[in-house]
């Protein structure tokens, strides 16, 4: 009789080695870090797109308000917010219309007393295209430029002693804000405001 040899261990035993587990964990960690980074970019992009959409809606609302002022512009000039200053200015809140230059994070108008909550602010600049004193009467036309702006993430207003949309903003401050693209984001809209003929 032949002596029996001990049974050989099977070479293909089921299970994972420690090296295989470590490699799988490393690949999983890399994938998770990539997904988290992608989510951060997606959240930031969505917030930026939302701010642009709100700012565009505010600019359109301002264009509508100025066009509404033009319906009263027949012989006398300067109804509502219409003027020919040709400088950037922060328009005042008109209580009868519940509308002004400051807006909250959802684009709702704020009273001047609530500007500390303002997330968006508006500046308006108007200049003559056709002065009403031309040969053809009641044919005046203004170009109104509307600028809606808000602070970039982590930034503070130019003047740290006032809010971003202070009702006491000077023309010089409004001009300085428009030049400060490192601190603010902007949406611009231009609209023609035409004098209505007297009926």
113 with 141: CB under 8 angstroms?
no
Predicted confidence at residue 137, as pLDDT, reads 63
80 within a domain of the structure (yes/no) = yes
57 within a domain of the structure (yes/no) = yes
20 within a domain of the structure (yes/no) = no
**What gap in Å lies between CA 123 and CA 186, rounded to an integer?**
11
Burial of 70 from C-beta contacts in 10 A (0-12 / 13-18 / 19+)? buried
User: Tens digit of pLDDT for each residue in 27-67?
Assistant: 999 988 888 888 889 998 999 999 999 999 999 999 999 99
pTM of the model: 0.80
**What gap in Å lies between CA 154 and CA 136, rounded to an integer?**
52
How large is the average pLDDT for residues 133-159? 84
167 within a domain of the structure (yes/no) = yes
Residue 90: which of 79, 100, 104 has the closest Cα?
100
DSSP 30: H
**What gap in Å lies between CA 190 and CA 147, rounded to an integer?**
9
23 within a domain of the structure (yes/no) = no
- Listed range (37-46, 59-68, 73-82, 139-148) with the worst mean pLDDT: 73-82
How many other C-beta atoms lie within 10 A of the C-beta of residue 87?
Answer: 15
**What gap in Å lies between CA 140 and CA 73, rounded to an integer?**
9
**What gap in Å lies between CA 123 and CA 146, rounded to an integer?**
6
The confidence band for 9, taking pLDDT boundaries of 50, 70 and 90, is low
User: Tens digit of pLDDT for each residue in 83-126?
Assistant: 888 999 999 999 999 999 999 999 999 998 899 999 999 999 99
SS3 183: coil
Q: Where are the alpha helices (DSSP H) in 107-170?
A: none
19 within a domain of the structure (yes/no) = no
| CA distances (Å), origin 199, targets 70, 155, 196 | 14, 51, 9
6 within a domain of the structure (yes/no) = no
* Domains identified in the chain, total number: 1
**Cβ within 8 Å of residue 148, ≥6 positions away:** 55, 56, 58, 59, 62, 103, 120, 121, 122, 186, 187, 188, 189
Which residue range(s) make up the domain with 81?
Answer: 33-194
126 within a domain of the structure (yes/no) = yes
DSSP 99: B
73 with 83: CB under 8 angstroms?
no
């Amino acid at each position: 009789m032949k002596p029996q040899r001990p049974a050989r261990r099977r070479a293909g035993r089921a299970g994972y080695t420690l090296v295989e587990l470590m490699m799988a964990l490393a690949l999983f960690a890399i994938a998770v870090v990539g997904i988290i980074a992608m989510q951060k970019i997606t959240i930031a992009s969505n917030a930026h797109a939302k701010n642009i959409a709100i700012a565009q809606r505010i600019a359109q609302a301002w264009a509508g308000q100025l066009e509404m002022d033009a319906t009263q512009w027949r012989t006398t000039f300067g109804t509502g917010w219409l003027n020919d200053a040709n400088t950037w200015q922060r328009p005042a809140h008109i209580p009868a219309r519940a509308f002004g230059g400051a807006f909250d994070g959802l684009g709702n108008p704020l009273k001047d007393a609530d500007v500390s909550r303002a997330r968006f602010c508006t500046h308006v600049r108007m200049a003559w295209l056709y002065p009403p004193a031309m040969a053809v009467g009641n044919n005046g036309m203004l170009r109104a430029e509307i600028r809606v702006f808000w602070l970039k993430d982590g930034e503070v207003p130019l003047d740290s002693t006032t809010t971003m949309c202070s009702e006491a903003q000077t023309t010089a401050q409004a001009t300085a804000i428009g030049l400060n693209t490192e601190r603010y984001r902007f949406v611009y809209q231009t609209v023609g405001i035409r004098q209505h003929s007297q009926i």
